[in-house]
Amino acid sequence: SHLEEKTQWEHPKSGKRKRVAGGLPYGWEQETDENGQVYFVDHINKRTTYLDPRLAFTVEDNPVKPTTRQKYDGNTTAMEILQGCDLSGKVVIITGANSGIGFETAKSLALHGAYVILACRNMSRGNDAVQRILMEWHKAKVEAMTLDLASLQSVQHFAEAFKSKNVPLHILICNAAVFGVPWVLTEDELESTFQVNHLGHFHLVQLLEDVLRRSSPARVVVVSSESHRFTEIKDYSGKLDFSLLSPSKKEYWAMLAYNRSKLCNILFSNELNRRLSPHGVTSNSVHPGNMIYSSIHRNWWVYTLLFTLARPFTKSM
């Protein structure tokens, strides 16, 4: 692993172990860097690496039982990931939690003891989601609260309502998003994809930052997408082009607007982590996966058709 700068002898999923057979190949030498990490020098080819060249000559060791953490793969469910975790006393806010990934996250956290607030635009659907969770465990601490990210005033009201509860906030998951929607301006005169996917969450985090700090250790999780790779928000001179963030109807393309909003998510999360991590609040952005079937495609029949055709090959909720 060049990220951790070490060689791992145990398979991360199967738990099978290997062991070294014999010494280093001719011309190789083992050294230690200033951080105490072992690396290897190939004097013949004049190169260094953290990859142990003896990996080519390992033999099977006695297999060990893998831990729960080592079992994670494409078939792992949210409930399995949290197995054994006691989240009693933790307070969580999840935006867009009445369906899809947000609902599965909310359900899993609630069933492991957390007090979960489903921040939803549609309160009817939010309350339905609450009842579905309570049907699985009647003692779950879960409730729905109104939050419309397309309205900065709604974001303000939600933050004030949450603060009036006088509870801490340990986890804030910015999950809600729209995809493939036609061009429309919000009541704040901003393009809706940009405001719902990014700016609304940005404003929400700013309003709740003081609660997060007081609740440390706390975390913010921003659900982004690999789609961020396929766009740019700079002009030809390399400066931020604000006209690209909230474009006019003439310059609007739904897919590009989504990609830009996801890039903003990542830039925001990175900077948030830089500013707040010294205060005990971490922030991470996450790509939820290409092969997960959700309802994010619902706004255009073309995307619905494509998602339907791909569904047999995707991970089910």
Q: Which positions are catalytic?
A: 258
| Contact of 119 with 137, CB cutoff 8 Å | no
Nearest Cα neighbor of 317 from 145, 100, 124 is 100
CA atoms within 13 A on the CB side of 194: 21
Strands 18-19 and 59-60: antiparallel
| Contact of 108 with 79, CB cutoff 8 Å | yes
Residue 101: alpha-carbon gap to chain centroid:
10
Q: How far is it, in rounded angstroms, from Cα 26 to Cα 57?
A: 13
Q: How far is it, in rounded angstroms, from Cα 219 to Cα 212?
A: 8
Provide φ and ψ at 210, rounded to 5°. Answer: -65, -35
